[in-house]
Amino acid sequence: MKMRKKAFMLGNKAVAYKGSGVVEVIDIEYPTFELKEGPGVNPANVGRKVPHGVILKTVTTNICGSDQHMVRGRTAAPTGLILGHEITGEVVETGPDVEFINVGDIVSVPFNIACGRCRNCKDGKTGICQNVNPDRPGSAYGYVDMGGWVGGQAQYVLVPYADWNVLKFPDRDQALNKILDLTMLSDIFPTGFHGALTAGTAVGSTVYVAGAGPVGLATAVSAQLLGAAVVIVGDLNDDRLAQARSFGCETINVGEGSVPDQLEQLLGVPEVDAAVDAVGFEARSHGHGAGAGESPATVLNSLMDVTGAGGAIGIPGLYVTGDPGAVDDAAKAGTLSLSFGTGWAKSLSFTTGQCPVMKYNRQLMMAILHDKVNIADAVNATAISLDDAPRGYAEFDAGAATKYVLSPNDYLEL
């Protein structure tokens, strides 16, 4: 118990949502093997015992675009919610039911919390576990309506069902040497890979990725890893498009002309084999520059236009059922004006929802450890301190072409 007493002495600092546009670093309790009442914790989960869990000393935890949706006030997230679902850490305590994970292990934590026991988990659908969120299938750390599991943008965090959930890195020194790459395994690299794969990307494919944020860039890297002949990334942000070009992508600024016309200039035809929506529900309309108004269905409709008949669209971009800041009442409930007839007429396939991270994270870990991919460079990973999190959120929200990686316990040189 010496480690736990030391942790109590050090305290536990974390990043909390304090209202629209505001995050603060606050002091919170050191985690225990029981869920306690707090902001966002589902009442049915209060008092839930977690003997199968581990407590991590956080090595890295990343700021995600999904966090930004909450911080912008675009969800029902309660004030005081502890943020963060992209977690890599060192095990400092294990619950009595943990068999195969040990103190000192460096592990990656999938953002989806999964029990490993339910029908969906056994089918590999870990993004929609039936036992961790009393309201609906699927859960995540530090996220609104996801059961209330405390977020990982903190010095210490509880991870349940550890034998099932965590991915142990085979060598501590190797892991810490490649930590800026390996930290992406908790979410955006598997999520981008899932988007590219479900879009049907294969050797020789032409692929269009809508969105040059970190998930879009991770999707583009993944499409290259899958053997795409050409990957084209579209966005309104020139800095993010330059980042996509830095690792061999073609790019189009969707504010400077129609997507089909720009694709035709690059490919000779106005369509692609595979397309991915890495934008989500805060999409802005095309053709009117950076000041374009919000139009949540615009990306999906555009992708149906430019995906070849019989193709597929991967949709890792987030869509929600409750958006208080939406442009109209329909969008506030997640109801969008889709040209579904276009998709039907072209026999397109769609894959939506949380990425089942565990389906991909080990394979992608091996690709990183054996130098087959440099995901940190592709997304411009930049390490900052936990205390610097408010700045990271503000700069990311302003469009910085950067993936901010928080270092709560000084494992990284800043």
Domain residue spans of the chain:
2-187+356-407, 188-351
Q: How sure is the predictor about 2, in pLDDT bands with cuts at 50, 70 and 90?
A: very low
Of the listed ranges 189-198, 321-330, 344-353, 391-400, the one predicted with least confidence: 321-330
CATH superfamily, with its number, for domain 188-351:
NAD(P)-binding Rossmann-like Domain (3.40.50.720)
| Residue whose C-alpha is closest to residue 85's, from 52, 115, 108, 55 | 108
Please report the pLDDT score of residue 113 as a whole number: 97
**What does the block give as tokens for 112?**
């989806």
Is residue 326's pLDDT more than 60?
A: yes
3-state secondary structure the chain: CHHHHHHHHHCEEEEEEEECCEEEEEEECCCCCECCCCCCCCHHHCCCECCCCEEEEEEEEECCHHHHHHHCCCCCCCCCCECCCCEEEEEEEECCCCCCCCCCCEEEECCECCCCCCHHHHCCCHHHCCCCCCCCCCCECCCCCCCCCCCCCECEEEECCHHHHCEECCCHHHHHHCHHHHHHHHCHHHHHHHHHHHCCCCCCCEEEEECCCHHHHHHHHHHHHCCCCEEEEEECCHHHHHHHHCCCCEEEEHHHCCHHHHHHHHHCCCCEEEEEECCCCCCECCCCHHHCCECCCHHHHHHHHHEEEEEEEECCCCCCCCCCCCCCHHHHCCCCCCCHHHHHHCCCEEECCCCCHHHCHHHHHHHHHCCCCCHHHHCCEEEEEHHHHHHHHHHHHCCCCCEEEEECCCCCCC
Of the listed ranges 49-63, 165-179, 236-250, 326-340, the one predicted with least confidence: 326-340
Dihedrals phi, psi of 144, to nearest 5 degrees: -60, 140
What is the pLDDT averaged over residues 392-406? 95
Calculate what percentage of the chain has a pLDDT beyond 70. Answer: 95
**What does the block give as tokens for 353?**
């929802």
Is residue 159's pLDDT more than 50?
A: yes
Please report the pLDDT score of residue 100 as a whole number: 97
Tokens 């995600």 appear where? 64
Is residue 11's pLDDT more than 90?
A: no
Please report the pLDDT score of residue 101 as a whole number: 98
Is residue 333's pLDDT more than 90?
A: no
**Rounded to an integer, what distance in angstroms lies between the CA atom of residue 345 and that of residue 309?**
8
Residue 388's DSSP bridge partners are: none
CB 343 within 8 A of CB 174: no
Is residue 310's pLDDT more than 50?
A: yes
Please report the pLDDT score of residue 284 as a whole number: 64
Instruction: Tell me the one-letter amino acid at 197.
Output: L
Across the chain, mean pLDDT equals 92
Please report the pLDDT score of residue 288 as a whole number: 40
The most confident of the ranges 39-43, 219-223, 290-294 is: 219-223
**What does the block give as tokens for 386?**
């936990």
Is residue 265's pLDDT more than 70?
A: yes
Please report the pLDDT score of residue 1 as a whole number: 39
Q: How sure is the predictor about 323, in pLDDT bands with cuts at 50, 70 and 90?
A: confident
**What does the block give as tokens for 34?**
């029981």
Please report the pLDDT score of residue 285 as a whole number: 59
Please report the pLDDT score of residue 287 as a whole number: 43
Fold classification of 2-187+356-407 (topology level): Quinone Oxidoreductase; Chain A, domain 1 (3.90.180)
What is the pLDDT averaged over residues 152-167? 98
Q: How sure is the predictor about 296, in pLDDT bands with cuts at 50, 70 and 90?
A: confident
Please report the pLDDT score of residue 9 as a whole number: 53
Of the listed ranges 31-45, 231-245, 379-393, the one predicted with least confidence: 31-45
Is residue 202's pLDDT more than 60?
A: yes
Please report the pLDDT score of residue 118 as a whole number: 97
pLDDT tens digits for 345-363?
Answer: 999 999 999 999 999 999 9
**Rounded to an integer, what distance in angstroms lies between the CA atom of residue 228 and that of residue 214?**
19
